[in-house]
Structure 1
């Protein structure tokens, strides 16, 4: 099992939107970075825990916990010419972009970027690295435990 942090703009899909969806599940569509795509394709497995992170908003940060709910499959938005995620080079026979389904587990208090940065135990967390813009990053098990236990007050992973 691996741990993940996945960024979503709350104007697109927030933790509340995820919780309200049928089955609490959403396809993680629109990823257009090969490294992030490859993580979904090659490293994520069903059941992996996910920090649901609000990005590109007034207060970015971890807003809840989700889990990977499907294996990677072709992202339908790449074939939709009306979508901002359309890719003219992608075809159903040779898709370029993938997504996984993500399922709601729980909403937490917002753990903002400033609070994450203030924790010495999280100094090497990938999402905090200078210049990091990836929408999906791996979270080390010790980082996951620290955030869930010390910052969220949870006693289970």
Structure 2
């Protein structure tokens, strides 16, 4: 199993939108590195859902339920792909970017190293630590 973090602006598509829908097509990604990450996601992989811009932080946990396929927002451009996610649970408390940056064990997390990347892998130990930080 692999672990990932996906970022979304809460005003455009936040955790509450995701919960209401119950399933999301993760499309519209137009960065080659993020696209390459989508291409290696597998059904069952775990995903941290991160709110960017406004009150940045990890707010929930999702799982990959469909592996990559042609991005429906770019049907004529085979370079772009999408995956599908389902929500698993909200974190009891958001794990803010400030808390992540303050945690020495997360100093090398991609979220800090490549802050503009919208889809990124994370290590199992980083994933577990963030989940633990999200418990009250």
TM-score bracket relative to the smaller structure: over 0.9
How far is the alpha carbon of 1:148 from its aligned partner?
1.3
Local SS of the residue matching 2:60: strand
What TM-score, normalized by structure 1, do the two folds share? 0.81
What is the CA–CA distance in structure 1 between the aligned matches of 2:12 and 2:106, rounded to whole Å? 28
Query: Are 2:34 and 1:50 aligned?
Result: no
How far is the alpha carbon of 1:117 from its aligned partner?
0.5
Unpaired stretches in structure 2, ≥5 consecutive residues: none
- Looking at CA atoms only, which structure, 1 or 2, has the larger radius of gyration? 1
Local SS of the residue matching 2:34: helix
Local SS of the residue matching 2:33: helix
Provide the residue aligned with 1:11 in structure 2.
Answer: 11
Distance verdict in 2 for CA 1:153–1:110, change over 3 Å: closer
Query: Are 2:58 and 1:62 aligned?
Result: yes
Provide the residue aligned with 1:128 in structure 2.
Answer: 112
How far is the alpha carbon of 1:71 from its aligned partner?
0.8
What is the CA–CA distance in structure 2 between the aligned matches of 1:56 and 1:78, rounded to whole Å? 25
The 5 A counterparts of 1:1-157 are 1-21=1-21, 24-41=22-39, 43-57=40-54, 59-79=55-75, 91=76, 95-108=78-91, 109-129=93-113, 131-149=114-132, 151-153=133-135
What is the CA–CA distance in structure 2 between the aligned matches of 1:137 and 1:38, rounded to whole Å? 10
Unpaired stretches in structure 1, ≥5 consecutive residues: 80-90
Structure 1 runs (4+) greater than 4 angstroms displaced: none
How far is the alpha carbon of 1:95 from its aligned partner?
1.6
What is the CA–CA distance in structure 2 between the aligned matches of 1:50 and 1:44, rounded to whole Å? 10
What TM-score, normalized by structure 2, do the two folds share? 0.93
Report the number of matched residues: 135
* Greater share of residues in strand: 2
Aligned residues: CA RMSD: 1.4
